[in-house]
């Protein structure tokens, strides 16, 4: 075995000699670029993302909250309406049905406020609500029927729904001041249209509800009965109104703001549109346009934007009475040359007793029946001539605007 000493190692190791170390001049070193660590960039991005999300949440919270409230309100109303529709089939007594009738019909009733541009004495211009009325949603697409006198003087409106939603994006589709009906259109989703009832099937004494916004008190409900049917008049408060009108009479309280709202039967269906009262204040005599007439007007306005009225071409006289003093028809005082009555063979002195299946008793009733017969329709007319019954078939003409 060989023995090695430290000295021998040092002598033979070439690395044992200390080399000369030369340090480069500081000017010869390349400058180093300072870089942020990757984790700093990641942390900065995370902070910015958190701030952005926080601001986004702050922006969206009101809208989301509003939508949640609406969905809860809307869902509740829809559930109540659907439940009410089912329960109304089970409750025969009116006193047990009324709350459910209101729940079913209520979501279809709206408040209508015309808007006018007002100029003050110091020339400031602002918008102001200039009236108040009610309306009825009759189609999911946003069609609303109301009284013409509610909207006649304005071209801007605010419509407020029972769930609190409102819009001023309201289009006037059409209307007629003589009939006092108008149709509006709104663009709001999830609407609950009211069902049309049959006003011709109503019986005097049948219970009804009036729903509307009298004096701004929204969703007000009053109870009454059908006091009378087929009340014909030109206007209870305006003797100069030229068009005859048919009304239902009710004692359900109607006040300013109720105009355009529904008269509802115990099935939750609209059977009339509340329109007028007798006198300056409520006296228990109120009038509604029957749904049979209102539906006809609505469908024609929606389709054409205006109404067309029928013309027979006769001058109406007084009612003809039988031996008991009861009116049995209307005497024809004159016939216009070239018009439908003359073409069909109707003569002066004839007594019209029946118009298209409806018994005629007075002139205003016959005038109303002719007016609301569609131009071009073929109508069977029964007359008395020298005590004998004669039937004619008349093709109704279109009434010119100047004759209205």
Q: How many CB atoms lie within 10 A of CB 57?
A: 10
Cβ-proximal residues to 294 (8 Å cutoff; 6+ apart), any chain:
145, 181, 270, 272, 273
Looking at residue 15, what is its pLDDT?
45
Say whether domain 310-403 belongs to CATH 3.90.1170.40: no
CB atoms within 10 A of CB 173: 17
Given the residues 259, 288, 291, 320, select the one marked as catalytic.
259
Give the list of residues 6+ apart from residue 382 with CB closer than 8 angstroms, or none: 352, 353, 354, 389, 390, 391, 392
Side-chain-facing half-sphere of 310: CA atoms under 13 Å: 22
**Predicted local distance difference test score (pLDDT) of residue 2:** 45
**278, 255 contact by CB (below 8 A):** no
Per-residue model confidence (pLDDT) at position 83: 78
Residue-level pLDDT at 78: 74
Alpha-carbon separation of residue 254 from 8, 133, 232, 273 (angstroms)? 129, 11, 19, 11
Q: Please report the pLDDT score of residue 277 as a whole number.
A: 86
Identify the active-site residue in 163, 180, 251, 350: 180
At 264, list the tokens: 């509802």
Q: Is 149 a catalytic residue?
A: yes
The pLDDT score that the predictor gives to residue 326 is 82
7 is catalytic: no
Cβ-Cβ contacts under 8 Å for 145 (sequence gap 6 or more): 135, 136, 138, 181, 182, 183, 184, 260, 273, 294, 298
User: Which residues, including other chains, have CB under 8 Å from residue 377's CB and lie 6 or more apart?
Assistant: 310, 395, 396
pLDDT in tens for each of the 404 residues of the chain?
444 444 444 444 444 454 554 544 555 555 555 555 555 556 676 777 777 776 666 665 555 555 555 556 666 777 777 777 777 777 667 677 889 999 999 999 999 988 875 555 655 555 555 568 999 999 999 999 999 989 875 678 899 999 889 999 999 999 888 889 999 999 999 999 999 999 989 999 999 999 999 888 888 999 999 999 988 775 554 444 545 678 999 999 998 889 999 999 999 999 999 998 887 777 888 999 999 999 999 999 998 888 888 899 998 888 877 777 788 889 999 999 999 999 999 999 999 999 999 898 888 888 888 888 889 999 999 999 988 999 999 999 988 764 44
Domain ranges of the chain: 199-304, 310-403
In the set 108, 111, 134, 149, the catalytic residue is 149
Report how far residue 136's alpha carbon sits from residue 158's, in angstroms, rounded to the nearest whole number: 14
pLDDT the model gives residue 273 = 96
The pLDDT of residue 11 is: 46
The model's pTM: 0.69
What is the pLDDT, as a whole number, of residue 129? Answer: 57
**Phi, psi angles (nearest 5°) of residue 343:** -60, -35
Q: Which of 363, 232, 372, 247 is nearest to 311 (CA)?
A: 372
CATH code of the domain occupying 199-304 = 2.40.10.10
Chain position carrying tokens 């023995």 = 3
Q: Is 227 a catalytic residue?
A: no
Sign of CA dihedral 212, 147, 110, 248: positive
From residue 340, alpha-carbon distances to 198, 258, 292, 343, 395 in Å are 31, 40, 25, 5, 6
């Amino acid at each position: 075995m060989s023995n090695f000493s430290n000295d021998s190692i040092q002598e033979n190791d070439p690395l044992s000699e200390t080399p000369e170390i030369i340090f480069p001049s500081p000017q010869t070193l390349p400058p180093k670029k300072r870089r942020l660590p990757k984790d700093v960039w990641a942390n900065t991005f995370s902070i910015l993302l958190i701030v952005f999300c926080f601001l986004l949440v702050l922006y969206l919270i009101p809208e989301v909250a509003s939508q949640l409230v609406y969905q809860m309100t809307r869902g509740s109303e829809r559930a109540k309406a659907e439940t009410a529709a089912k329960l109304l089939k089970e409750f025969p007594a009116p006193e047990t049905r009324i709350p459910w009738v209101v729940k079913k019909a209520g979501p279809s009733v709206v408040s209508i406020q015309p808007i006018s541009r007002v100029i003050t004495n110091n020339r400031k211009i602002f918008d102001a609500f200039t009236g108040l009325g009610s309306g009825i949603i009759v189609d999911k697409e946003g069609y609303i029927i109301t009284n013409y006198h509610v909207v006649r003087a304005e071209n801007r409106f605010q419509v407020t729904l029972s769930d609190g939603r409102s819009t001023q994006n309201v289009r006037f589709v059409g209307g007629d001041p003589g009939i006092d009906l108008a149709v509006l259109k709104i663009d709001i989703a999830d609407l609950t249209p009211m069902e049309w009832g049959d006003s011709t099937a109503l019986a005097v004494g049948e219970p009804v509800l009036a729903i509307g916004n009298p004096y701004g008190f929204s969703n007000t409900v009053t109870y009454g009965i059908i006091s009378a049917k087929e009340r014909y008049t030109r206007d209870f408060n305006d003797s100069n109104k030229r068009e005859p009108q048919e009304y239902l009479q009710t004692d359900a309280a109607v006040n300013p703001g109720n105009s355009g709202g529904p008269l509802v039967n115990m099935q939750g269906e609209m059977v009339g549109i509340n329109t007028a009262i007798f006198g300056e204040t409520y006296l228990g005599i109120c009038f509604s346009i029957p749904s049979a007439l209102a539906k006809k007007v609505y469908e024609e306005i929606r389709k054409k934007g205006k109404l067309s009225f029928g013309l027979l071409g006769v001058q109406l006289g007084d009612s003809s009475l039988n031996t008991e003093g009861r009116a049995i028809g209307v005497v024809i005082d004159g016939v216009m040359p070239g018009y439908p009555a003359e073409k069909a063979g109707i003569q002066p002195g004839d007594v019209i007793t029946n118009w298209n299946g409806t018994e005629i008793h007075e002139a205003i009733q016959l005038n109303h029946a002719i007016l609301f017969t569609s131009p071009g329709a073929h109508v069977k007319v029964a007359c008395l001539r020298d005590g004998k019954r004669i039937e004619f078939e008349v093709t109704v003409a279109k009434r010119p605007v100047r004759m209205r």
